[in-house]
């Protein structure tokens, strides 16, 4: 299945490769049978945002004003829309900085390539997470969350093996 993929970057410090992101989604789509049939057909929208912008969406649509990593909106099959995945680049950057034991707020010259690689993997995981939500996975109950985490691990392994991991840079 070939789908239209709309990628919007609304984060002033994020640099991304749209072609690589679309390639990762296309690869996931080609292995849909491994993931509950995959994301529904139709246009898929990916939006990369700041924490504050995603928190506002969280407040507006889910009555929760806190920051989050991913929000997924189901599409409308009759309109040819698979759905929309909104991700926070800030949350990924902060998470990676904490995991790596480094301050994510250091000047750019102090950031090592390994931090950028870990950031790319984390932000890719957020995209995968949203794609899996559209495929029918849920993570609100412990058993369903375990199933979601296993699917995430399979998807990330698939992307790594195919050398289809998108690269992101946080400036």
Q: Which residues are annotated as a binding site?
A: 129, 133, 139
What is the b/e burial string over 103-122, where b = at least 16 CB atoms within 10 angstroms of the residue's CB?
Answer: ebeeeeeebeeebbebbbbb
Asked, for residue 171, whether it belongs to a domain, the answer is no
- Per-residue pLDDT reduced to its tens digit, 33-45: 999 999 999 999 9
CATH number at 50 reads 3.40.390.30
Q: Which residues are annotated as a binding site for Zn(2+)?
A: 129, 133, 139
- Per-residue pLDDT reduced to its tens digit, 9-63: 999 999 999 999 999 999 999 999 999 999 999 999 999 999 999 999 999 999 9
Structural contact between residues 117 and 165, judged by C-beta atoms closer than 8 angstroms? no
Q: What gap in Å lies between CA 132 and CA 108, rounded to an integer?
A: 33
For the chain, the domain total comes to 1
- Per-residue pLDDT reduced to its tens digit, 112-154: 668 889 999 999 999 999 999 999 999 999 999 999 999 999 9
Q: In which domain, by residue range, is 59 found?
A: 5-166
Q: What gap in Å lies between CA 14 and CA 121, rounded to an integer?
A: 14
């Amino acid at each position: 299945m070939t789908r239209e993929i709309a990628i919007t970057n609304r984060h002033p410090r994020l640099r991304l490769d749209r072609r690589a992101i679309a390639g990762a989604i296309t690869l996931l789509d080609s292995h849909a049978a491994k993931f509950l049939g995959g994301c529904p057909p139709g246009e898929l929208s990916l939006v990369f945002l700041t924490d504050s912008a995603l928190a506002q969406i969280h407040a507006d649509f889910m009555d929760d004003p806190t920051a989050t990593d991913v929000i997924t909106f189901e599409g409308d099959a009759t309109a040819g829309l698979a759905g929309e995945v909104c991700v926070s680049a800030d949350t990924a950057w902060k998470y990676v900085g904490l995991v790596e034991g480094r301050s994510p707020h250091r000047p750019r010259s102090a950031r090592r390539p390994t931090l950028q690689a870990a950031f790319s993997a984390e932000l890719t995981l957020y995209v995968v997470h949203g794609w899996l939500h559209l495929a029918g996975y849920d993570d609100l109950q412990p058993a369903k969350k375990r199933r979601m985490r296993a699917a995430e691990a399979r998807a990330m392994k698939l992307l790594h093996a195919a050398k289809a991991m998108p690269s992101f840079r946080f400036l």
